[in-house]
Copies of this chain bind each other. A is one copy, B any other.
């Protein structure tokens, strides 16, 4: 059996007839076999065309050749295009504060192979998770943040983010500067501990308790300059009842938070998420 590799392709462009024909013809000529394809058009007249493909190529076909051909096609159709080998290593930087559940679930799923990536850097404004990170052999950097030192702290953090594919704010609890956010646009995911847009801002479990909701939730989203306003990747909820008070909601919420965040991170790293007009297209 010839050895093969797999390429993932994400496409967004204005819809018009013939896109799939041109694309699949091109891939076929390159020797590729489409293993999975998922496409939809918003509105055939004037809407957007969104597509995700996984294509297998024999290892005799060079991936640069594949990329070049696709980019050529992409120009014809005005495509926003993302192309990546599925076997490329992915490296995450994880920002944490004091809460450990989100990063531990991420570390666990990376270790078990459920998330095909590694945690290359852990950055925290506190020392609480330092011992754990060391025992898990994760490079840990303590970068305290105060109002006065914020820009220096961000510069130091930024200097550690070399060859990083994704920045994860795993309950980091600090607001990053617009410049830092901009630098990682589309490559930085935050977990917010509420069902957004409900309970934006601090203490969402306290807000949820005060409002008396019957479900609490968590939201993973790309980080943008507007706090808690970025494109939502995944959300989920957990039923609660009247006997549960704020500490109970926090405890129950931890489960939802880690599940929602890890799903979002996995989908992003598997090239399943496209952003268009502040909403995400998530290919299942």
Which residues of A line the B interface, CB within 8 A?
A: 1, 4, 15-21, 23-25, 27-28, 31-42, 44-45, 50-51, 56, 100-101, 104, 108, 112, 114, 135, 195-199, 210-215, 217, 231-237, 241-243, 245, 251, 255, 259, 278-282, 284
Contact = CB atoms under 8 A, between A and B. Distances in A.
B36 A41 contact: yes
A31 B280 CA distance: 30
A45 B50 CA distance: 27
A84 to B, nearest CB: 18
A282 B32 contact: no
B35 A242 contact: no
Nearest to A207: B197
A99 B119 CA distance: 23
A98 to B, nearest CB: 13
A241 B282 contact: yes
* Max chain B C-beta neighbours (<10 A), residue from A51, A104, A213: A213
Given A198-B198, A214-B234, A215-B237, A28 B18 contact: yes
A10 to B, nearest CB: 13
A212 B197 contact: no
Given A27-B21, A281-B242, A15 B33 contact: yes
B34 A24 contact: no
A280 B44 contact: no
A219 to B, nearest CB: 8
A197 B199 contact: yes
A18 B104 CA distance: 44
Nearest to A209: B279
Contacts of A23: 24
Contacts of A104: 108
A280 to B, nearest CB: 6
Contacts of A35: 40-41, 44
Nearest to A279: B212
Contact of A17 (B32, B195, B241, B259): B32
